[in-house]
Amino acid sequence: MQYQDRIPPDGINTPGRHPLREFLRLSVMALLAIITLGFLLNSAGGTLGGLIPFKYELWLADRIDSASVDAGQESPFAQTITHPELQEYLQSVADRVASAMELEASMPITLHYSDDDLVNAYATIGGHVYFFRGLLSLLPHENALSMLMAHEFSHVSLRHTAKGIGGGLALAAGTSLLGMSQKNQLFGLATTLTSTRFSRNMETQADRSALAAVNRMYGHVAGASALFILFMQQRDEEEGQFDKFLSTHPLDEQRIQRIEDLALERQWLLEGETTPLPDKYSSWLR
Partner 1 sequence: MSNLIIFAVLMVLGYGFGQYNEQRHYKSIKKREALLSTLPAVATKYPPGDERHRQTMVMGSVVVASDYFKSFVASLVNVFGGRVRSFEPLLDRGRREAMLRLKQEASEQGASMVFNIKYETSRIGGKVPTIEVLAYGTALTPLHSPSTHGEQLSQQV
| Number of residues engaging partner 1 in binding (CB under 8 A) | 24
Shortest separation between residue 3's beta carbon and partner 1, angstroms: 4
d(CA 46, CA 53): 13
Residue 32 interacting with partner 1 (CB under 8 A): no
Residue 6 interacting with partner 1 (CB under 8 A): yes
Shortest separation between residue 7's beta carbon and partner 1, angstroms: 5
Residue 245 interacting with partner 1 (CB under 8 A): no
d(CA 164, CA 57): 12
Residue 117 interacting with partner 1 (CB under 8 A): no
Q: Residue 222: which of 231, 214, 212 has the closest Cα? A: 214
Residue 188 interacting with partner 1 (CB under 8 A): yes
H helical segments located in the chain: 19-51, 54-70, 84-100, 133-136, 142-157, 160-177, 185-218, 226-238, 241-246, 252-266, 281-284
Distance set, CA 24 to CA 21, 31, 194, 242, 263 (Å): 5, 10, 21, 22, 45
Residue 56 interacting with partner 1 (CB under 8 A): no
**β partners of residue 111:** 129
Q: What is the dihedral of CA 279, 283, 284, 286, to 10 degrees?
A: 160
By CB under 8 A, the residues from 157 to 186 that bind partner 1 are 185
Shortest separation between residue 13's beta carbon and partner 1, angstroms: 5
Residue 5 interacting with partner 1 (CB under 8 A): yes
Q: Which stretch binds partner 1 (CB under 8 A): 13-21, 85-93, 107-115, 124-132?
A: 13-21
- Residues in contact with partner 1 by the rule CB under 8 A: 1, 3-8, 13-15, 17, 19-20, 22-23, 26-27, 29-30, 33, 185, 188-189, 242
